[in-house]
Amino acid sequence: MFLRNMGIIPGKAQSGADEGSGASITNLSRRSFVAGSGLFVIGVTLAGCSSYVEPDVDANAFDLPDPGASPLTQVAGGDATPALWIAIEEDGTVKITCHRSEMGQQVWTSMAQIVADELEADWDKVQIVQAEGHERYGDQNTDGSRSVRYNFHRLRIAGAAMRSMLTEAAALFWEMNPAECSAAEGLVSNSQNSDTLSYGNLAELAARLEIPAEDEINLKEPDEWRFINKEIPSLTIPLITRGQGTFGIDVDRPGMVYAVVARPPQVFGRVGSVDDTAALEVPGMLQTVRLRDAKPPALFQPMGGVAVIARNTWAAIQGRNALDIEWIDGPNARYESVSFGEAMKRTARRPGTVRRERGNVQTGMADAAQRIEAEYYAPHLSQSPMEPPSATAQWTGDKLEVWACVQDPQTTRQTIADLLEIDKENITVNATWLGGAFGRKSKPDFAVEAALIAKEVGKPVKVTWTREDEVRHGFYHSASAQRLEAGLDEDGKCTSYLHRTVFPPIASTFSDGMATPTDGEMGLGATDVPFAMPNLRVESGDAKGHLRIGWLRSVSNIYHAFAVQSFAAEMAHAAGRDQKEYLLELIGKARTFDPGDEGATYPNYDASIEDYPIETGRLSNVVEKAADMARWGRNLPEGHGLGIAVHRSFLSYIATVIEAAVSPDGTLTIPGIWLAVDAGTVVNPRHARAQMEGGTIYGLSNALYGEITARNGAVVQDNFPSWRVMRMGEAPREFDVEIIQSNTRPAGIGEPATPPAAPALTNAIFNATGHRIRTLPIIGARGSRLSLPETETA
Amino acid sequence: MARTLKINGKDETVDAAPGTPLLWVLRDHLKMTGTKFGCGVAQCGACTVHIDGAPTRSCVLPHDSLEGSEITTIEGVEGPAADAIREVWVENDVPQCGYCQSGQIMAATALLAENSSPTDADIDTAMSGNICRCATYMSIRRAIKEAASRA
Ligand code: FES
Ligand code: FES
């Protein structure tokens, strides 16, 4: 590559480069290449792809490289062509495109850390451009704790490729060998003199060089990392502390009107009749629009109903209150979640479909010296991000632009195209900031609503969901019933293990009548159980969906880890053994295994089992670590107990120890939590720790209080506090996180802290009180204390 | 009917229906979207503003009751307590998604302005009306104490 493009190098005599400053090369470059544009951009930020930092980029400033000319379109993880990700401006500003949705996991910062590290950028000059939804970026579904895992390699390649081109540009300018030039913190220097050239000055020249192939690119060694694995401050938080930044609900368009929607109480319910006379008299009301009825399967359709459009959100809410609607029942009008839970428990008592098998559980149980069994139940949950769903849509002719707090702008775009039967090319979807998501915002029904309503109204429309809408019309975490049985030998060692899990699958939302738990859901904590006993069987039982069932932070791992890790402690108790020692014995010696070898179809979070094997040694290691942090085995005050749970999910290994304190009247407090995580390479330890805290508390909030019930097919809860969540006063006083340092492949961070939280707490409560909790929530929306057997009668 | 509200030290004329909560006047009429909507029923604290210095839920506060009051929002809150809170919030990366944080900062600022060395119990009392689904509670508690120790 070296000197290949000598032909375009400006004469050195003109440059005044001995000043070592970039000013003259800039002037020269401007004269030579970009008459009058005043902008130098390496790569080109694609038009229309910014929600926040409107890139001040003139795409015509110079010829775009032919995309086919990039040798980096097929890098593992996707296209690593620098121009897709990085734009460098004359003043040195480095604009990095983030194609994942920012929802508090600090993905703006982590994606920028990865690119900027290999690029050797000056961090103070980094700005983020939020990508619109487009296939050119590859997967944008910000879900499944995989933003870093999917993009770590390719973004490093993109950054390193550009660093190499900038370095080469400097070498050309200085007429040196690139090996004599090196880049650091936004400047290229050389080994011959003290001159430096800034990226801003080199960008335009570098853009004309050939992009190196992957095998020509040298990635930095971990010990050379400047930003990766460092506690780099968030790029969003300074804005947040001033009330700046644009969430979905904050979008404003000229001439915009405001809408809320009255939706049928039941899924696939319909509007019978509507009288909007009183509604239209509300000051500020503009009109109502009947939305089309939803039909099974639910997919990401809006649920129909009546849209209420006004000059402001408050007027729309008042208008909706004044509507007189007669609803026609949906097909699930007889769904009662409590009695359905009992039915699921009965299903769990009957033999199910075998999903993984080792040895022979029947003979193992028959030969056992001691047998134990337990049933667990966990209810539906709502994701309830702090920002309810909100979307804004604007039509210009047959072109549609949408701004929404969506986890996947590509799915949003495709869903709108499908449901409105319009060409995807006519749709632009901008992901705003997300005020939390937790899986709710991976379903773009609310963005489709905005598109439909805006079309009817002929003006830009913002649809806001109230909290009541969010709680009542969600895609709920599945309720579940599970049964576990074990046979122990004379020494208390587990020889036989049966786990049967029953829950309506998420697939019921996408395919009407689907009732069999999928391999994906079974692989979230059931078929990948890491226990080593000789006889093991995992079964599933069918259950129909009656609400829209959807993903919620860590998904089926929540109820599976609750049952499996509770049962591990129950086995320890039956054996008269220490919970932690018994857990280590269940896990067994350090090894890797593939559930596929025992009949499971195991997706392993869409990763290959070779790249990301299940390593029991890493599980045991985090157990030991968390136990040490908590000083497991220490003397505790009366009414206190420590509980432990460990779980692998999203390819990360996390053990959590919780101290529970229960007063004689059943009042529960959580003095401390100790968590050890092994997630391979961690891009930002500070933000990873925040996810450990947040994921744990999210799990505890659900376990303590969370319960969505349905009566007559309609959700009963409507807002805080009937849908109760954890508050400041209930949060633990102490929360220690230890990140196991590792340079192995990066794994998930956003979700995996949630699953071990609930069983660590219920195990702690058991150790504090002798009371075993097998039904969630532990306290519920109205409770204030544990109902212990003693206090129940008190 | 136009009314004049004093917001962040500036007179703003708003023409909103009687009874419209301050939250929606700020967000929709004045396009000041820093103050957030989380529940609409005074349960979550996302909409917290200061009325004459006192933290108040703007989602249930009719704007027409506020003529003559000093209304302060996240966009305009300043002074030693606000400076200290913002500083420790940024230094420690307290927020996650940030959506609840306007309310958290308004509540924490009011607490610190009134109580220069809050205990855990004081913090729990002052902050328990502010829900954070990202669960930044531990960070908030640490940060308030740090801000207090500096002030
Ligand atoms: S929006 Fe006002 S307290 Fe929740
Ligand atoms: S930071 Fe996300 S809700 Fe508090």
Q: Which atom of ligand 1 is nearest to the CA of B129?
A: 3
pLDDT of A61 reads 33
List ligand 2's pocket residues with C-beta within 6 A.
A 104, 386, 436; B 95-101, 132-134, 136
A694/B37 Cβ within 8 A: no
Determine contact, residues A647/A565, Cβ cutoff 8 Å: yes
Q: Which atom of ligand 2 is nearest to the CA of B98?
A: 1
pLDDT at A104 over 90: yes
pLDDT of A6 reads 29
Closest by Cα among A308, A317, A314 to A290: A308
Q: Provide the mean pLDDT of chain A.
A: 92
Average pLDDT over residues A269-289: 98
Determine contact, residues A142/A408, Cβ cutoff 8 Å: yes
How many helices (H) and strands (E) in chain B? Answer: 5, 5
Interface check for A721 against chain B (CB to CB < 8 A): the answer is: yes
Chain B residue with Cα closest to A102: B97
At what angle are helices A557-575 and A579-587 packed, to 10 degrees? 110
pLDDT of A448 reads 98
Three-state SS string over A525-563 comes to: CCCCCCCCCCEEEEEEECCCCCCCECCCCCCCHHHHHHH
Determine contact, residues A543/A472, Cβ cutoff 8 Å: no
In whole angstroms, what is the distance from residue A758 CA to residue A696 CA?
8
Average pLDDT over residues A427-434: 98
pLDDT at A59 over 90: no
Contacts with A597 (C-beta within 8 Å, 6 or more apart), sequence order? none
Which of B17, B75, B138 minimises the CB distance to A242? B75
A249/B36 Cβ within 8 A: yes
pLDDT of A68 reads 57
Q: Which atom of ligand 1 is nearest to the CA of A720?
A: 4
Q: What's the predicted TM-score (pTM) here?
A: 0.94
What's the half-sphere exposure (Cβ side, CA atoms, 13 Å) at A570? Answer: 25
- Classify A2-240 by CATH class: alpha beta
The residue type found at A299 is L
Q: Which atom of ligand 2 is nearest to the CA of B135?
A: 4
A237 contact residues in B (CB cutoff 8 A): 89-90, 93-95, 98
Residue from A231, A232, A241, A469 to probe the interface with B (highest B Cβ count within 10 Å): A241
Chain B residue with Cα closest to A238: B90
Cα dist from A91 to A34, A126, A199, A215, A510, whole Å: 15, 11, 9, 31, 50
pLDDT at A712 over 90: yes
pLDDT at A58 over 90: no
B125/A313 Cβ within 8 A: no
In whole angstroms, what is the distance from residue A136 CA to residue A129 CA?
15
In whole angstroms, what is the distance from residue A586 CA to residue A534 CA?
11
A467/B41 Cβ within 8 A: yes
Contacts with A2 (C-beta within 8 Å, 6 or more apart), sequence order? A168, A171, A177, A178
> Lowest mean pLDDT: which of A34-48, A416-430, A715-729, A736-750?
A34-48
Structure tokens at B82: 């606000």
B99/A283 Cβ within 8 A: no
A-B CB pairs within 8 A amount to 190
A719 contact residues in B (CB cutoff 8 A): 39-41, 43
A386/B44 Cβ within 8 A: yes
Q: Bridge partners of A308?
A: A260, A288
pLDDT of A69 reads 77
Average pLDDT over residues A41-65: 36
Cα dist from B119 to A106, A585, A733, B105, whole Å: 30, 43, 12, 17
Tens of pLDDT, residues A32-47:
332 223 333 444 333 3
Tens of pLDDT, residues A636-658:
999 999 999 999 999 999 999 99
pLDDT of A787 reads 85
A243/B35 Cβ within 8 A: yes
Tens of pLDDT, residues A354-386:
999 999 999 999 999 999 999 999 999 999 999
Closest by Cα among A674, A660, A692, A689 to A735: A674
pLDDT tens series, chain B, 151 aa: 799 999 999 999 999 999 999 999 999 999 999 999 999 999 999 999 999 999 999 999 999 999 999 999 999 999 999 999 999 999 999 999 999 999 999 999 999 999 999 999 999 999 999 999 999 999 999 999 999 998 6
Determine contact, residues B87/B147, Cβ cutoff 8 Å: yes
Which of B27, B44, B120 minimises the CB distance to A720? B44
Determine contact, residues A454/A461, Cβ cutoff 8 Å: yes
Chain A residue with Cα closest to B21: A314
The residue type found at A112 is A
Distance from CA of A672 to the nearest CA of B (A): 11
Q: Bridge partners of A270?
A: A328
Distance from CA of A433 to the nearest CA of B (A): 8
Considering every ligand atom, which ligand is closest to the CA of A468? 1
Domain boundary among B55, B72, B89: B72
Q: How far is CA A339 from the centre of its chain?
A: 32
Q: Bridge partners of A486?
A: A372, A497
Closest by Cα among A306, A268, A273 to A290: A306
What's the half-sphere exposure (Cβ side, CA atoms, 13 Å) at A318? Answer: 20
Contacts with A248 (C-beta within 8 Å, 6 or more apart), sequence order? A387, A389, A390, A391, A392, A403, A404, A405, A406, A432, A433, A434, A435
pLDDT at A415 over 90: yes
In whole angstroms, what is the distance from residue A306 CA to residue A689 CA?
43
Query: Count of domains in chain B?
Result: 2
**β-pair type (A592-593, A535-541):** unpaired
Average pLDDT over residues A666-695: 98
Long-range CB contacts for residues A6-9, cutoff 8 Å, separation at least 24: A6/A172, A8/A32, A8/A33, A8/A205, A8/A208, A9/A172, A9/A173, A9/A175, A9/A205
Interface check for B33 against chain A (CB to CB < 8 A): the answer is: yes
Chain A residue with Cα closest to B82: A241
Which of B38, B98, B135 minimises the CB distance to A467? B38
B140 contact residues in A (CB cutoff 8 A): 728
Determine contact, residues B49/B22, Cβ cutoff 8 Å: yes
Q: Bridge partners of A431?
A: A404
A283/B28 Cβ within 8 A: no
Determine contact, residues A484/A345, Cβ cutoff 8 Å: no
pLDDT of A178 reads 96
Domain boundary among B72, B90, B123: B72
CATH number of the domain bearing residue B52: 3.10.20.30
Structure tokens at A386: 């702090």
Q: How far is CA B120 from the centre of its chain?
A: 20
Distance in Å, CA A691 to ligand 1 centroid:
25
Determine contact, residues A658/A672, Cβ cutoff 8 Å: yes
A728/B137 Cβ within 8 A: yes
Closest by Cα among A402, A393, A398 to A133: A402
Average pLDDT over residues A455-461: 98
Domain that holds residue B101: 80-150
B38 and B99 belong to one structural domain: no
Closest C-alpha to ligand 2, atom 4? B132
Backbone angles phi, psi at B133, to 5 degrees: -75, -25
B85 contact residues in A (CB cutoff 8 A): 241
What is the fold, at CATH topology level, of the domain defined by A337-381+475-792? Aldehyde Oxidoreductase; domain 4 (3.30.365)
Domain boundary among B72, B97, B130: B72
Chain A residue with Cα closest to B33: A250
Does the domain at A248-331+389-464 match CATH 3.30.365.10? Answer given as yes
Distance from CA of B68 to the nearest CA of A (A): 23
Residue extents of the structural domains in chain A: 2-240, 248-331+389-464, 337-381+475-792
Determine contact, residues A677/A739, Cβ cutoff 8 Å: yes
Kindly report the number of other CB atoms within 10 A of residue A596's CB atom.
Answer: 14
The percentage of chain B sitting over the pLDDT mark of 70, rounded to a whole number, equals 99
Tens of pLDDT, residues A286-332:
999 999 999 999 999 999 999 999 999 999 999 999 999 999 999 99
Determine contact, residues A629/A676, Cβ cutoff 8 Å: yes
A749 contact residues in B (CB cutoff 8 A): none
CATH number of the domain bearing residue B125: 1.10.150.120
Interface check for B73 against chain A (CB to CB < 8 A): the answer is: yes
A384/B135 Cβ within 8 A: no
B93 and B66 belong to one structural domain: no
ipTM greater than 0.90: yes
At what angle are helices A685-705 and A557-575 packed, to 10 degrees? 80
Closest by Cα among A123, A97, A101, A111 to A42: A97
Structure tokens at B23: 């939250």
Average pLDDT over residues A63-74: 69
Interface check for B40 against chain A (CB to CB < 8 A): the answer is: yes
User: For the purposes of burial, counting CB atoms within 10 Å of the CB of A598, is it exposed (0-12), middle (13-18) or buried (19 or more)?
Assistant: middle
Tens of pLDDT, residues A748-763:
999 999 999 999 999 9
Considering every ligand atom, which ligand is closest to the CA of A434? 2
What are the respective helix, strand and coil percentages of chain B, to the nearest 5?
Answer: 40, 15, 40
Structure tokens at B129: 């009306």
List ligand 1's pocket residues with C-beta within 6 A.
B 37-40, 42-47, 57, 59
Q: Which atom of ligand 2 is nearest to the CA of B96?
A: 1
Q: Which atom of ligand 2 is nearest to the CA of B95?
A: 1
